[in-house]
Amino acid sequence: MSTVHYDFFPSPIGTLTVAADQAGVRHILFAQNRYDATGRARWVHNPGAALVRQAREQLLDYLHGGRRHFDLPLAPVGTPFQREVWHTLAQIPFGQTWSYAQLAQAVGRPAASRAVGAANGRNPLPIVLPCHRVIGANGALTGFGGGLPTKQALLQLEGWSPRQAARADDLFADVPAAGSQ
C-alpha cells in the first residue's frame, strides 16, 4: 500500500482535510469527520504533495464561486455498487438536485433508493462527487456528512433555493384556491 499524503486547511465551510496517494484523491473530510492520522504509518502530513495541493486549490476555487467542475484523479475505495453510485453523482449538474429515487433510477436500480442513500452517505469525496446535490423526494434537505447547514450553503453557492426543490403540488400552496376570494 502506498503512502497517503494529506493536509487540512480552512475554508468558507470550515476546516477540510484532503488525502491523496499515487492513485488519486482518496478522501475529503469535514472538520467534524477529520481523519486522525496519529499512529497511521501510511498517512503523512504533506501539504506540498502535488495532488493534495491541486485538490486544495480546486476546492477553494469552487467554494469561492470560481469553479463548477473538478479536474482531479479520484481513487475512492468502496464496493462496486458504491463506486457506481459515486460515479453517477458526478453526473448531477452544478446547481441542480436529484432525489434519491432519481439517483437510483440513474444507477439502473429504481427500487434501491435506500441502498443508494447508504452509498451516498459513505461517499469519501464529498463536494467533488457532489452528494450534497441529492435531496429528499419532497425537496427536503436530508443527511450530509458536513451537516445540513453546510449542505444548504453548498447548494446556495450553486444557485439553488429551497423553492426549486419543492414538489409540484407545493409550488402553488400560497395561491388562493379558485372562488375563495
pLDDT one-digit tens code per residue, 35-64: 555 545 688 899 899 999 999 999 999 999
Look up cell 450553486; give the residue: 158
Chain-centre distance of CA 179, in angstroms?
Answer: 45
When divided into structural domains, the chain yields a total of: 2
Residues 89 and 140 in one domain: yes
Q: Which domain holds residue 85?
A: 80-165
Give tens-digit pLDDT for 65-78.
999 999 999 999 99
Question: How buried is 66 (Cβ within 10 angstroms: 0-12 exposed, 13-18 middle, 19+ buried)?
Answer: exposed
Q: Contact 16/9 with Cβ under 8 angstroms?
A: yes
Residues 84 and 145 in one domain: yes
Residues 9 and 42 in one domain: yes
How far is it, in rounded angstroms, from Cα 26 to Cα 119? 16
How far is it, in rounded angstroms, from Cα 130 to Cα 89? 6
- Is residue 154 assigned to a domain? yes
Q: Which three cell numbers stand for residue 175?
A: 395561491
- Is residue 74 assigned to a domain? no
Residues 59 and 89 in one domain: no
Q: Which three cell numbers stand for residue 164?
A: 426549486
Q: Which CATH number does the domain housing residue 100 bear? A: 1.10.10.10
Give tens-digit pLDDT for 120-161.
999 999 999 999 999 988 888 888 888 899 999 999 999 987
- Pick the catalytic residue from 92, 119, 125, 131: 131
- The pTM of the full predicted model, rounded to 2 decimals, is 0.84
Chain-centre distance of CA 156, in angstroms?
Answer: 14
Q: Which CATH number does the domain housing residue 22 bear? A: 3.30.160.70
- Is residue 176 assigned to a domain? no
- Is residue 170 assigned to a domain? no
Instruction: Please state whether beta strands 43-45 and 4-9 pair in parallel, antiparallel, or not at all (unpaired).
Output: parallel
Assess whether 131 carries a catalytic annotation: yes
